[in-house]
Structure 1
Amino acid sequence: MRNILIAAAVSLLLSMAGTPLAIRLFARRGYGQNIREEGPSGHYDKRGTPTMGGTVIVIAALIGYFTAHLMTFFSSTPEPPTVSALLVLFLMTGLGLVGFLDDFIKIYKQRSLGLRSGAKALGQLIVGAVFAVLCVQFPNAYDITPAETRLSFLRDFGPASIGIVAFTIWVLFIIVGFSNAVNLTDGLDGLASGATGVVLASYVLIGNWQLRNSCTAALGPNCYVVRDPLDLAVVAAAVLGALVGFLWWNAPPAKIFMGDTGSLALGGVIAGLAVTTRTQLLLVVLAGLPVIITASVIIQVGFFKMTGKRVFRMAPLQHHFELKGWAETTIVVRFWLIAALCAAAALGLFYLEWMPKQ
């Protein structure tokens, strides 16, 4: 618990203090947001707002996590970083770098599109494949690896392994899907920050619960076979702290945008936590808002190709409500509430199997 508090506090302070410095630096260098012409007209006022704020989130989270572990070396029981946590941080940082390249090209070429879709997808796939393969390595003293080649919901399920190839493809689907889902959610000031924040807060609770009911501590019918549950909670807390500090400046009206640097990194970290905590399918409910927003894009594109007509005035879904006349802050707050309800439902499902059976 001490590491969780230290990681969250350090990353929060660094992010809150570092973001205004980034705003001034990016503004001085002209690292401003370009706005797509076909977007809602109200977004033109945001043109030139500093972007790439996700760099602050990633750096603050990394410093917060490693500071928490560094502090333990001054105690009687040092706690070095764990493999599971380092893998999730690698995934976050790797996808953040892909997003950084995308953002930088947008700024350098002064256009709303950065990396070509193929190059962007390739970067995500390379980082994701390395993560997936390494996740089934590094067994601990109890022969538990950061992940197993199995599907999971509240824990791993199924009679047997699906094999390393199928598992890698499945993990890549999760990583690419959720990193792009958070990217689609990042369309209004503070929307992606708040939606991802409730997911990270949930993983702090999940990691703590898995630690208290770990099969390595007390074998029981519902115990969890998770390699490093507490340290995964520390990762979630570090990123959450950095995200809250950033949201202070990203809330409407935003002084800075996270850009693809932030959205891809955040999508990667929640995907990585889902794989390493063995809650892959639960993430669909836990991150329900990004899933709904992504589904709106799929429905819009698919229906238009089949019929030539649109279901929504514009996709992603948040822009549909903008064009209906909803104020941006109204959409953001209401979508935050939806995100919180999805997270609460997922946590309810997670704890359901521990309810007394009549």
Structure 2
Amino acid sequence: MRNILIAAAVSLLLSMAGTPLAIRLFARRGYGQNIREEGPSGHYDKRGTPTMGGTVIVIAALIGYFSAHLMTFFSATAEPPTVSALLVLFLMTGLGLVGFLDDFIKIYKQRSLGLRSGAKALGQLVVGAVFAVLCVQFPNAYDITPAETRLSFLRDFGPSIGLVAFTIWVLFIIVGFSNAVNLTDGLDGLASGATGVVLASYVLIGNWQLRNSCTTAFGPNCYWVRDPLDLAVVAAAVLGALVGFLWWNAPPAKIFMGDTGSLALGGVIAGLAFTTRTQLLLVILAGLPVVITASVMIQVGFFKMTGKRVFRMAPLQHHFELKGWAETTIVVRFWLIAALCAAAALGLFYLEWMPKQ
């Protein structure tokens, strides 16, 4: 628990203090946001707002995590960083780097599109494939690896699907959720708040799995998770960095996270889903990004079939903008939806654990 508090506090303070420095630096260098011409007209006022704020989130989270281990290094109960946590941090940083390249090209070429879609997808696939292969290695003393080559809802079930099929499944989830958070990042503070409730949930899940780990509390409902406490530390570190960033990203935003932040955040929640054995639960836990992504798929598919639109504009948040909802109204209501999805997922997580009568 001490590591969780230290990681969250350090990353929060660094992000809170570092974001205004990034705002001044990026503004001085002209690293401002370009706005899509086909987007809502109300967004034109945001042109030039500093972007790439996700760099602050990633750096603050990394420092927060390692600071927690460093500050407790001489403690009697000190433990070094674990493989599971390092893999999730690798996934976050790798996808953040892909997003950073995308953001930088947008700024350098002064356009709303950065990396070509193929190059961006290739970057996501390479980082995801490395994570997929490594996360089924490094068994601990109980022969538990960071992830298992089985599908999971609240714990592993069914036979192994094999490394190749598992890698494809991992890539599908990683690319899907990193892009889902990217689509959610359309209004000031929306993606930050929606992802924050997911990370807070993983702090609780990690703690619960630690208390009911099969390595310490054998029983029919125990969890075979390799490093649950350190995964909670990772979630807390990223959450703290995200809260500090949200202070400056809340409407009206003084900085945007850009693809640097959205891809990194999508990666970290996908990584936590695999390492905590909650891959399919993530669909409910991160229900808001899932719904927003579905709105884009429905809009594109229906338009190709009929030439008509289901929504006034996709992603879904822009539909409500064009209906006349204020941006802050959309953001707060969507935050509430995200919180309800997280609460429903945590409820399922707890109910599944309860002993069957």
Q: TM-score, normalised by structure 1?
A: 0.99
User: Residue 22 of structure 1: CA displacement?
Assistant: 0.1
CA deviation vs aligned residue, 1:56-75 (integer Å, no higher than 9, x gap): 00000000000000011122
Distance of 2:355 and 2:7 partners within structure 1 = 35
User: Residue 33 of structure 1: CA displacement?
Assistant: 0.1
Distance of 1:163 and 1:134 partners within structure 2 = 14
User: Residue 76 of structure 1: CA displacement?
Assistant: 2.3
Distance of 2:79 and 2:157 partners within structure 1 = 31
SS at match of 1:253: coil
SS at match of 2:8: helix
CA deviation vs aligned residue, 1:303-339 (integer Å, no higher than 9, x gap): 0000000000000000000000000000000000000
CA deviation vs aligned residue, 1:52-100 (integer Å, no higher than 9, x gap): 0000000000000000000111222331000000000000000000000
CA deviation vs aligned residue, 1:188-220 (integer Å, no higher than 9, x gap): 000000000000000000000000000000110
CA deviation vs aligned residue, 1:16-57 (integer Å, no higher than 9, x gap): 000000000000000000001111111000000000000000
Distance of 1:294 and 1:165 partners within structure 2 = 26
Q: What number of residue pairs does the alignment pair up?
A: 357
User: Residue 226 of structure 1: CA displacement?
Assistant: 0.2
Matched residue, 1:235: 234
User: Residue 357 of structure 1: CA displacement?
Assistant: 4.5
Conserved? CA contact 2:221–2:355, under 8 Å: no
Identical residues among aligned pairs (%)? 97
Distance of 1:354 and 1:320 partners within structure 2 = 39
Matched residue, 1:147: 147
Matched residue, 1:291: 290
User: Residue 356 of structure 1: CA displacement?
Assistant: 5.4
User: Residue 158 of structure 1: CA displacement?
Assistant: 0.8
CA deviation vs aligned residue, 1:155-193 (integer Å, no higher than 9, x gap): 00113x100000000000000000000000000000000
Task: Give ranges in structure 2 of 5+ residues lacking alignment.
Answer: none
Q: Give the alignment of 1:17-56 within 5 angstroms.
A: 17-56=17-56
User: Residue 355 of structure 1: CA displacement?
Assistant: 3.5
Distance of 1:167 and 1:311 partners within structure 2 = 35
Conserved? CA contact 2:33–2:48, under 8 Å: yes
Distance of 1:355 and 1:173 partners within structure 2 = 31
Distance of 1:62 and 1:77 partners within structure 2 = 22
